Each structure stands twice: as C-alpha cells, then as structure tokens.
A and B are shown apart, each in its own frame.
Chain A
Amino acid sequence: MSSTLDVSSRARSHDEAPRGAGQPVPRARRKKKDSGRYVAYLFLAPWFIGLLLITAGPIAASAYLAFTDYSLIGSPEWTGLDNFRRMFDDPRFYQSLKVTFIYVGVSVPLQLAFALFLAMILDRGLRGLALYRSIYYLPSLIGGSVAIAILWRQIFGAEGLLNGVLRFLGADNPPGWVSDPSYALGTLIILNVWTFGAPMVIFLAGLRQIPTMYYEAASLDGAGKVRQFLKVTLPLLSPIIFFNLVLQIIHAFQSFTQAFIVSGGTGGPADSTLFYTLYLYQRGFGNFDMGYASALAWVLLLIVGGLTAVNFIASKYWVFYGD
C-alpha cells in the first residue's frame, strides 16, 4: 500500500537524520540501542502472541484442515483434495461466488462515485461543511449493524416503507423487494452504497491537499471544469482513489450481517443473497463441516489476496504519484 511505503521511508529518514549530520555515534547511544532491541520484544510480546495464536496460527491450521474431514468430533481425517473437488461440483459455491462478485462489483464503484461526487461538492468551502460531513458519515458507522439490517428488511419488505411510498405514488402491486430473488441482492447493494461516507471523508482530505495553483494554471490555459476534473483532480487524487478502492473491495468481500439478517440466515430467496461469507458460515457453523469451511476460507483468502495484488499491479498504469 502506498501509504505504508511513505510511512516507512519517513521513519527511516527520522532515524538517520542525526547520523547523517556527521555526529560521531556516542557510546551511550549504542548501548541504548542494544537494550532497545531487547526491550522491543517485551513491548511486542502481546502482539507476537496474538499473531501466533489468533492470526498466523489459525491461517496455517485452516490450510491443514482444508485437506481434512472434521466435524469437531474425533480428530481431523486426511482426505487430500476431496474438499476442493467437492467445491468444483457444488452449485451453491458457484452461486455464492456469483452473488459476492456482483455485490462487490456493483456496490463498490457506485459507493466510490457517490463519495467522490459529494466530496467535490463539499470541497467548495461551503458553510456548514462539518455538519454535512457528519450527516453523510453517520451511515458508515452503523451500516453493518444488525439494527440497520433489520430496518432494511422492513423498508424493502412487501409491507415496507418503500412500498408504502410507491403505493402512495400510485403503484399498484410493487414487489416484496427482499423476498423477490431478482431484487433482494439489489437492496443489499443499496445498503452498501448508503455507507459512502467513510471514503467520502478520505476523498475530502485528499482534495484539500491539491494546491489551488494547479486549477488556476489550468483555467488560465483555458481548461473548463470538465477538463480540470479530468486532467488535474483525477490524476492528483488517484492515489486516494486507489486506496479507497482497495479498502472498500476488501471490506465488501467481508459483508455478512446484512445478508444474514435480511435473509434470516438462509441466503435466500433462492440463494440470491448467499454471500460467500454466509455460505462459509452455513457450512462451518450450521453443518459443522470444518474441513470444507476451511477450504472455502482459503479460497476466500486467495481471491481477496489475488484481487488486491491485481489492484496493485493495475495501479501502476493509472495511479499518479507526482514527481
């Protein structure tokens, strides 16, 4: 991630500054550094233990479990590639992939488009910016909660707020959105788009950093608003667009609560909201098919990791890092 690169280089320059100034390294400093090395592990001890037991260990364990049959009773039984073979013949696996890709592919670009659009309006130095920013940001904080998912279930239900409004406007027989396989996923996409506030705040911070003189120079050269947007704003904002894109894709892949609550845990109607994570949950904690769930988990890891890698590679062609 670009931000990290930046961070580490800054850290390095910090550390080297005194030495670069040509001062001899005093003995006290050297000693201190040695004790620092030892002390560092004390400070890091909780983190290292957490990495071992909660993060890295489980990743390795699920790599092993993915090749076994295990239902929490007895011990895991090695079955080789069976889980992966089953996966290739599993229509619900394909369905969950399809649902998740549609969800991510439609909601993330829409979410970022809204975020950028509103950030640009807010960047004009309007009064009440703080208030607007708060209002638009609020849904991001609660969008993943059960309470909001329940609200969504009502709003888009057959007897819901949306249909109340539609009937009032004269629609005869509006569908029950969450109970109709052709619309259910759409309601979840809307929910994710609704949480565009978080990327918006990041865009806003980025827009404030574009020097005004670029716009002045562009308009002196006769560039209109559209051209200024395409030739100044977009390139200078591209690192932030990239940052938001990577984060929101990863985030969207992990959506679970919305689909679980809206479909009552089934991923229905007709598996139309069967998010990948929901399917994984059903196999692992509904059927206690821990081996298969681990295989699914690893495929998820590979997909998210692969997409992130593709994003980083593609970014070389469109992200502009200045000089």
Chain B
Amino acid sequence: MATDLTVAEPLAATEKLPARRQKKQRPRWLAHTVLILGAVLMLYPLLWMISSSFKFTEDIFSQTGLVPERVTGQNYPDGWTALPHDFGHYILNSTVIVAGSIIGNLLACSLAAYAFARLEFRFKKFWFAVMLGTMMLPIHVVIVPQYILFQQLDWINTYWPLIVPKLLATDGFFVFLMVQFIRGIPKELDEAARIDGCGHWSIFWRIIIPLSVPALATTAIFTFIWTWNDFFSQLIFLTDPDMYTVPVALRTFVDATSQTPWGPVFAMSIVALAPVFGFFLAGQRYLVRGIATTGLK
C-alpha cells in the first residue's frame, strides 16, 4: 500500500524526474491546456469572491468578471463591524480554540503514538485497531452524549468542550500519522540513548520528538485548518454570541438578514479564509506528506 511514508519521497522527487514514459505521447501542450483550463475553472469561484469583496453589493450580481468596474474598500470595515461584536472578537475566540487544539494534539497524540510505535503492552494490536476505528467514527454518533456530559460539567459556552478532547488524543488521524512516522525513525537511536542511560521519557523528549518535527508540523497545520474551519461542534457547544467563533459568526450573516449584504459578507469570508491560505502556502510540503500518509483531507 502506498499509504506509508515512502510515498513522500517519490512525490518530492517528481519534479526532478524526467518524463518516464515519453514515447508516443500526445503533445504536452494538450495536457497543459486541459490542466490550465481545469485550474481556472476550479479557482474562478474563489477569485471571483476576492474580487467581489471589493465591489459594491449592488454590482456583484451584474459583474461576473474578475475586474471590478467600481472599486471600494468599504466592505471590509462594514463587515468587520456588522455583527454585535467586532469581527476581531470572533477571530480571538477561534484563535484560543485553535491554539488549545494544536497544543493538545501535538502533546497527546505524540505520547500515544510513541507507545504504539515503540513500547510493548497487552493487547497492543487490539488497542491499535480501536484507535483506527475511532478515525472512522462520525462525530455525529457521539455528539449527543458529549453534549450531555459537557452540560453536566457546565462547559457549554466555554472553550473546554472544543479543547479538552484534543488534550485526550481523540483525533486518531494524528496518532496514526505519528505512529507511521516514528516507525520510520531508526531504532538504533533509541538503543544508543538507552545505553547512555536514558529512560523512555527522555528518549521520547530528546530523540523522538526532535526527529519528528516534520510529522508534528503536519499535525499542527492540519489541526489549525480543521479546527479553524470546523463548524458542527462549534455550532453546538457555543450558542452564546459572546463565544461565537469565526464560522459561527459568519453563519449569522446570511441567516439574520433576509437580504444578504454580499459585499461585506464576502469581505469577512475572505478574512475567514485568509489564514487557511497562509498556512497552505507556508506548509504545503507537510500537507502533501500528510494526505499521502493517511489519506486525510
């Protein structure tokens, strides 16, 4: 199966490789034409949204092109202040949850992964299978009891229901990703450290963690993007407008008013997507490795 780390290598090497099967190929320009047309079609909605965020709302429908006839920057301040709180307030809420989730996933998932990759314990295969099973589990199946539990704890409308599960390594994807990565680290390094008197704890901190930086980066970037975009659990656990995150606040934009103010809405949608674009550009290498490793989105 190509889902282990080895696929990262051929992927990374693809650019350098000359064409492998050259003979009797249709001309390259045909492939490029298809690819460029496809790319334009794929990206057009996004580009159009960016362009429309600088148009007057009344112009948006009539202008299907990418260059605004009349340019305005007013949508951004308008959108920023259109809801009960400044949009910055929602960004802050999202940031707290995202930061907590990243810290939680990095710590808890790498701890569990070390145990699965390097330690022996009873029913290890069984627990590993359970962990893989949780990757497949739709959150909708557990959301009702989770809600009841968090409600008993008085955690509804706090950050905790969204952060604590990450501190408990419930994102099986990242445990799996880290297990795969740690298995690729030569065991001789552990042995050497052990001879030097290191216990498991210091092997973990001094050998495994420093060598796992690429997998940790993948985990951090995916956690960022998924948590930042997550809507379902935030919609359920955060019902107080003071606690709204970016996606939940965005949603009230199109719900509250019958006539959607598209200009400001698009402006704030761009604000919501911008950090994802940023992380995407900065962390592409890790993202591609991540999906190639575990098949995640």
Contacts and interface: CB of A to CB of B under 8 A. Distances in A.
A300 B144 CA distance: 13
Given A154-B262, A300-B140, A198 B296 contact: yes
A18 to B, nearest CB: 9
B15 A205 contact: no
Interface string B27-61: 01001101100110011011011000000000011
Interface string A271-304: 0000001001100110000100110011011001
Nearest to B161: A54
Contact of A46 (B108, B247, B266, B292): B108
Contacts of A133: 288
Contacts of A261: 251, 254
A3 B151 CA distance: 38
Contacts of B284: 130, 134
Contact of B292 (A47, A62, A145, A201): A201
A7 B4 contact: yes
A238 B138 CA distance: 25
Contacts of A86: none
B1 A3 contact: yes
A243 B254 contact: no
A93 interface: no
Interface string A6-18: 1110110011000
Contacts of B120: 15, 33, 36-37, 40
B272 A146 contact: yes
Interface in A251-287: 251, 253-254, 256-257, 260-261, 264-265, 277, 280-281, 284-285
Query: Chain B interface: which size bin?
Result: 35 or more
Contacts of B11: 204-205, 208
Interface stretch (B81-89, B210-218, B229-237): B229-237
A250 B269 contact: no
A146 B250 contact: yes
A209 B20 CA distance: 12
Query: Chain A interface: which size bin?
Result: 35 or more
A41 B121 CA distance: 8
A125 B141 contact: no
Contact of A126 (B28, B119, B270): B28
Contact of B273 (A4, A6, A130, A142): A142
Given A142-B276, A254-B140, A3 B4 contact: yes
Nearest to A216: B21
Contacts of A314: none
Contacts of A209: 2, 7, 10
A57 interface: yes
B64 to A, nearest CB: 4
B99 interface: no
B108 A47 contact: yes
A161 interface: yes
A144 B226 CA distance: 9
Contacts of B170: 50-51, 54-55
A118 interface: yes
A243 B111 CA distance: 27
A304 B117 CA distance: 29
11 contacts: A55-B170, A62-B142, A65-B144, A126-B28, A141-B280, A146-B248, A151-B45, A151-B266, A243-B295, A244-B295, A293-B144
Interface of B: 1-4, 7, 10-11, 14-15, 17-22, 24-25, 28, 31-32, 34-35, 38-39, 42-43, 45-46, 48-49, 60-64, 107-108, 111-112, 114-115, 117, 119-122, 125, 127-132, 134, 136-149, 151, 165, 167-170, 175, 179-180, 183, 187, 194, 199-201, 204, 225, 229, 231-232, 235-236, 247-248, 250-251, 253-255, 260, 262, 265-266, 269-270, 272-273, 276, 280, 284, 287-288, 291-292, 295-297
Given A58-B142, A161-B48, A168-B64, 8 more contacts: A8-B125, A40-B121, A53-B149, A57-B145, A141-B225, A164-B61, A198-B296, A240-B2
Interface of A: 1-4, 6-8, 10-11, 14-15, 32-33, 35-37, 39-41, 43-44, 46-47, 49-51, 53-59, 61-62, 65, 72, 118, 121-122, 124-126, 128-130, 132-142, 144-148, 150-151, 153-155, 159-161, 164-165, 168, 194-195, 198, 201-202, 204-206, 208-209, 212, 215, 219, 239-240, 243-244, 247, 250-251, 253-254, 256-257, 260-261, 264-265, 277, 280-281, 284-285, 290, 293-294, 297-298, 300-301, 304, 308
